[in-house]
């Protein structure tokens, strides 16, 4: 059976060039990067520092501003908890948005439940964007952190990060952004965006799972964090633990490849996404786009198929890998918090599917996916009383 992978927001396949760079550090170059007294450790440390420089170059940072973690979830936790704990004498107010990844929302909720923070969760518009003026109005004398993601992991909407960054700077408030979905896909410059902390992860840009990083601004202002992992003082004291050298090397190589190939690759991916969109909407009625029509990730297509149960559609499409939302909340039966935040009712939220086009997709993949999705949507609609009522009402 042919299988087509269109779930690149959940994870991406490891690029063979990334795997090639990693393999020596899974074999003969097995040293601990903290063991500087012999060549095995020195060559591991050199590989780590080379990767640190590669990652820094992609986002316009200095290498010493890159802190290695296990992924974006840990990076988000370190940024938010680390700021709230370190700056407790200044305040404990955090501002975020309703469409954030659960790594941000659940972290904020945990801090609030423990009485360590007060949190303002801002609404978004129908396209999923935060109003920068709403951010400005939410800032108080006790605000220590604003946390707004760069690109949404479900609907692909890009936030006005540079505008929010200017507001944060004017208010003297630190600004954190989860950029797991955007690094390597759209230009990211931490200085231009006004970001003080930025989370990223390898497995969203064709690198290995379990490897991520947090950018922590080192000057103007210098950001201080309370560590969340103790035991050795690694990573400038912010994140203790033996480094995952193969994963770090893979993250660095993935960042370099993404930066070098970003423009032509994203144009190719956008063309495939548009082909997918046209193929579905010319053959099916009552299909609505979710998210911003233009300010969005090139590979993202999030659609509502009226009268179709999304889970039933996914179950029928075992040969086409899709999802109904974030992989991190796939065990939750409630409708996506992102879709509810942009105004979808429960029925439409449950009738929505995320398509994630990526580097290794081709036109044949897209055409196959269109044929299969159209086939299954028509079959499910023929069984749907809800769709039959909708069709009668439109006559």
From 86, 146, 60, select the one nearest 78 (Cα to Cα): 86
SS (H, E, C) the chain: CCCEECECCCCCCCCHHHHHHHHHHHCCCCCCCCCCCCHHHHHHHHHHHHHHHHHHHHHCCCHHHEEEECCHHHHHHHHHHHHHHHCCCCCCEEEEECCCCHHHHHHHHHHHHCCCCEEEEECCCCCCCCCHHHHHHHCCCCEEEEECCCECCCCCEECCHHHHHHHHHHHCCEEEEECCCCECCECCCHHHHCCCEEEEEHHHCCCCCCCEEEEECCCCCCCCCCCCCCCCCCHHHCCCCCCCHHHHHHHHHHHHHHHHHHHHHHHHHHHHHHHHHHHHHHHCCCEEECCCCCCECCCEEEEEECCCCHHHHHHHCCCEECECCCHHHCCCCCCCHHHHHCCCCHHHHHCEEEEECCCCCCHHHHHHHHHHHHHHHHHHHHCCHHHHHHHHHHC
17-44 pLDDT per residue, tens: 999 999 999 999 999 999 999 999 999 9
* Predicted confidence band of residue 128 (pLDDT cuts 50, 70, 90): very high
Please determine, for residue 134, whether its predicted confidence score (pLDDT) is greater than 70: yes
Residue ranges covered by each domain of the chain: 4-10+262-394, 16-257
* Predicted confidence band of residue 229 (pLDDT cuts 50, 70, 90): very high
* Predicted confidence band of residue 354 (pLDDT cuts 50, 70, 90): very high
pTM: 0.95
41-92 pLDDT per residue, tens: 999 999 999 999 999 999 999 999 999 999 999 999 999 999 999 999 999 9
325-348 pLDDT per residue, tens: 755 554 556 789 999 999 999 999
From the candidates 108, 255, 328, 362, give the one annotated as an active-site residue.
328
Please determine, for residue 312, whether its predicted confidence score (pLDDT) is greater than 70: yes
Give the per-residue pLDDT at 216. Answer: 98
**Architecture (CATH level 2) of domain 16-257:** 3-Layer(aba) Sandwich (3.40)
> Does residue 108 carry a catalytic annotation?
no
Fold topology of 4-10+262-394: 3.90.1150
Give the per-residue pLDDT at 114. Answer: 98
Give the per-residue pLDDT at 390. Answer: 73
- Per-residue pLDDT averaged across 223-247, rounded? 96
Give the per-residue pLDDT at 326. Answer: 54
* Predicted confidence band of residue 384 (pLDDT cuts 50, 70, 90): confident
């Amino acid at each position: 059976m042919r299988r087509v992978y269109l779930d690149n927001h959940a994870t991406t396949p490891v690029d063979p060039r990334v795997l090639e760079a990693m393999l020596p550090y899974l074999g003969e170059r097995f040293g601990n990067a903290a063991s500087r007294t012999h060549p095995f450790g020195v060559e591991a440390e050199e590989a780590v520092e080379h990767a640190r420089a590669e990652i820094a170059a992609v986002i316009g940072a200095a290498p010493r501003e890159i802190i290695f973690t296990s992924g974006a979830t840990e990076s988000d936790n370190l940024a938010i908890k680390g700021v709230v704990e370190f700056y407790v004498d200044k305040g404990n107010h955090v501002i975020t948005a309703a469409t954030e990844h659960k790594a941000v929302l659940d972290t904020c909720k945990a801090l609030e439940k423990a009485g360590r923070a007060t949190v303002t969760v801002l609404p978004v518009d129908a396209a999923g964007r935060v109003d920068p003026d709403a951010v400005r109005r939410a800032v108080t004398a006790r605000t220590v952190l604003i946390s707004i993601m760069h690109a949404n992991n479900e609907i692909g909407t890009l936030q006005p990060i540079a505008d929010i960054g200017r507001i944060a700077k004017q208010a003297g408030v630190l600004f954190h952004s989860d950029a797991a979905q955007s690094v390597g896909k759209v230009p990211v410059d931490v200085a231009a965006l006004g970001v003080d902390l930025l989370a990223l992860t390898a497995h969203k840009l064709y690198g290995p799972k379990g490897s991520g990083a947090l950018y922590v601004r080192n000057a103007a202002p210098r950001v201080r964090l309370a560590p969340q992992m103790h035991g050795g003082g690694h990573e400038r004291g912010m994140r203790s633990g033996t480094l995952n050298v193969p994963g770090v090397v893979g993250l660095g190589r993935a960042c370099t490849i993404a930066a070098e190939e970003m423009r032509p690759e994203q144009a190719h991916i956008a063309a495939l996404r548009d082909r997918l969109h046209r193929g579905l909407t010319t053959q099916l009625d009552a299909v609505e786009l979710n998210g911003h029509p233009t300010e969005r990730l090139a590979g993202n297509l999030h659609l509502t198929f009226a009268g179709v149960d999304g889970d039933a559609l996914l179950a029928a499409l075992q040969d086409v890998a899709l999802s109904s939302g974030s992989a991190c909340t796939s065990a939750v039966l409630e409708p996506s918090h992102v879709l509810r935040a942009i105004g979808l009712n429960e029925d439409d939220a449950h009738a929505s599917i995320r398509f994630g086009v990526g580097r290794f997709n081709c036109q044949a993949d897209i055409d196959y996916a269109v044929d299969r999705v159209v086939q299954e949507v028509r079959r499910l609609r023929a069984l749907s009383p809800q769709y039959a009522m909708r069709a009668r009402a439109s006559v």
